Amino acid sequence: DKQGFPMKQGILTNGRVRLLLSKGHSCYRPRRRGERKRKSVRGYIVDANLSVLNLVIVKKGEGEIPGLTDKSIPRRLGPKRGGKIRKLFNLTKEDDVRQYVVRRPLPPKEGRKQTKYKAPKIQR
């Protein structure tokens, strides 16, 4: 919530409660063996007192969400390791991976006609 208390699954309230937490519970990491501690956690019902909610889109709906699902942003960098490049392009061990390196165009500087490309140094 706004003060930094974590939300805990299974607590049917939108406020804070103080629970006795032990090893295996979320929101708590014991420092000694058998240690238990009473900690403040927030219920998992969402209301206006939250500052951040981390969400994952699981299924595609009928409409697009503007600014989120209506455009696709490509990955900025390609793989650096040779084995990952081979896996991406289905290459054999004999193929040369240097031809398949993902190159990124740099924005042109003033007075230059051709665009420069940047590529990672291939490892292994």
Go through the chain and tell me how many residues it has.
124
Structural domain contains residue 57: no
Give the pLDDT score at 90: 93
Structural domain contains residue 60: no
Contacts of 26 (CB under 8 A, 6+ apart): 6, 8, 9
Cβ atoms 8, 19 nearer than 8 A: yes
Looking at the whole model, is its pTM more than 0.75?
Answer: no
pLDDT values of the chain reduced to their tens digit, one per residue, 124 residues: 889 999 999 999 999 999 999 999 999 999 999 999 999 999 999 998 888 888 888 988 898 888 888 888 877 788 999 999 999 999 999 999 888 898 888 888 887 778 888 888 888 7
CA separation for the pair 27, 10 (Å, rounded)? 13
Structural domain contains residue 96: yes
CA separation for the pair 78, 103 (Å, rounded)? 8
Structural domain contains residue 81: yes
Structural domain contains residue 92: yes
Provide the residue range defining the domain that includes 20. Answer: 1-52
Structural domain contains residue 67: no
Cβ atoms 32, 14 nearer than 8 A: no
Q: Which parts of 26-124 are beta strand (E)?
A: 37-42, 104-105, 117-118
Structural domain contains residue 65: no
